[in-house]
Amino acid sequence: MADLVAAVVVSNHPNTSGTSPLPPASCSIDESYKYVFLPVCYSLTFLFSLILNSVVLLGGGRRWNTSLIYMVNLATTDLMYGLSLPFLVASYVMKDSWVFGDFMCRLVRFLFYFNLYCSIFFLTCISVHRYLGICHPMRTITLESKRVVKGTCALVWVVVFILTCPIFRFAQTGYYMNCWDDAIDKEFADYVPYGIVLHLLGFFVPFIIIGWCYSQVVRTIFQSLRSPPSSIESGDDGPGYSNYIRRRRKSIKTIVTITLMFALCFLPFHVTRTLFLLLRRGQIGGCNAMKAVSICYKVTRPLASCNAWLNALLYFLIGDKGAPCSVVNGSCFVYCIWLFFLPFLNGKYRHRHLLVGGVISVMQTD
């Protein structure tokens, strides 16, 4: 990957990204593994993203609510990113050679970060939405309207575009026809301040907001479990109280799932990328530090890309009322995947699977 090779010398592909800040003999890192690891990871991400996000966007018979509006926006930006991955896969298969031109290099790099921070911002909106609905249900009832949510989503698209549009300037093809992820050496000093600000505003601030919302929601829910509303307090053993407890626990599950997925996908990537920018800019830490950062960065980058399909998976697992199928019964999710592959089956197998699909469809209506 061209973003780290500029700072170190790759043993099997020397100086593929321009001049190296370190002497060629001082630090040799074998990165041949990435030509297998990254294409496999990105190919799987492309496949899962295409299937899951298409199901989210094309699912019919659903009732639109505020949560569904956020998830549809998530699926749209994730699908856009997934469609750009074949270009990166081809580049890594050809050993970092970029044959699609300078504009496509800038566009693909832009789509990666645009999707990344749109996902982060929409996940932040979902957490804030849950916080307001649980902690301040009456005072913020006007903010729960579909019009407000649509306006919020439009604002997210605009803000993230402004935040990431400088990538069009910095990302470009290098002298050796590769596609730089950050900036060429002579512009790297200008890129580092922008990269740090991008990390702060695009990840660390939303991470703090999500963490704060999560803690407040958990505190409020535990308080409500100890002292339930008077309308159901008299029937502690009745169905009303059981439904109340179940709804509260589902809210906790939703926030915990969002937070864990957020941390798993984005925290390692932004920590290692921030360290890379600081190490390369200051040329500190030595060869061992650069080796560790190189390996961690290569591993966490596909992990961050996984959000392109994990968001859609979250949409199914939560089982929101607006979902095209309730995933309390997991057969609906399997059925949606089956529908995607149905056109590729031949006549004999298609007839057999239509019978299976009919049984699953009946199960969903029972």
pLDDT (tens digit, 9 = 90+) per residue, 236-279?
555 666 776 777 777 777 777 778 878 888 999 999 998 888 88
Question: 10 Å Cβ neighbour count for 151?
Answer: 11
What pLDDT, on a 0 to 100 scale, did the predictor assign at position 134?
Answer: 79
208 with 346, same domain: the answer is: no
Domain membership of residue 358 as a residue range? 329-366
Q: What is the Cβ-side half-sphere exposure of residue 217, based on CA atoms within 13 angstroms?
A: 27
Query: Chunked in runs of 10, what are the mean pLDDT values of the chain (366 residues)?
Result: 42 35 52 86 92 83 78 88 89 87 89 88 87 79 81 95 92 77 81 92 94 87 70 54 72 76 88 86 73 84 86 68 40 48 47 36 34
What integer pLDDT is reported at residue 11 of this predicted model?
37
Residues 130 and 34 in one domain: yes
Q: Are residues 207 and 333 in the same domain?
A: no
| 214 and 336 assigned to the same domain | no
293 and 336, same domain (yes or no): no
- Shared domain for 137 and 195, answered yes or no, is yes
In one letter, which amino acid is 251? S
The DSSP-derived string for 234-301 is T-TTSHHHHHHHHHHHHHHHHHHHHHHHHHHHHHHHHHHHHHHHHHHHHT-SHHHHHHHHHHHHHHHH
Distance CA 157, CA 150 (A): 11
Specify the pLDDT at position 26: 54
Domain identity same for 202 and 347: no
- Please tell me the predicted confidence (pLDDT) of residue 204: 94
pLDDT tens-digit series, residues 138-196? 777 777 788 889 999 999 999 999 999 999 888 888 666 788 888 777 888 889 899 99
pLDDT at 15: 35
Computed over its alpha carbons, how large is the radius of gyration of the chain?
23
Both 157 and 292 in one domain: the answer is yes
3-class secondary structure, 319: coil
In Å, what is the CA distance from 99 to each residue of 32, 56, 87, 179?
A: 20, 33, 9, 9
* In a shared domain, residues 205 and 293: yes
Distance CA 225, CA 23 (A): 63
Cα 78 versus chain centre, distance: 7
Do residues 300 and 342 share a domain?
no
- pLDDT reported for residue 228: 61
Whether residues 205 and 351 share a domain: the answer is: no
pLDDT at 332: 45
CA distance 154 to 152: 5
Single-letter amino acid, residue 270: H
Query: What is the count of structural domains for the chain?
Result: 2
Nearest alpha carbon to residue 86 among 58, 123, 50, 125: 50
Is there a single domain that holds both residue 337 and residue 270? no
pLDDT the model gives residue 18: 33
Question: Given this model, what pLDDT does residue 71 score?
Answer: 84
d(Cα 98, Cα 9) in Å, to the nearest integer? Answer: 19
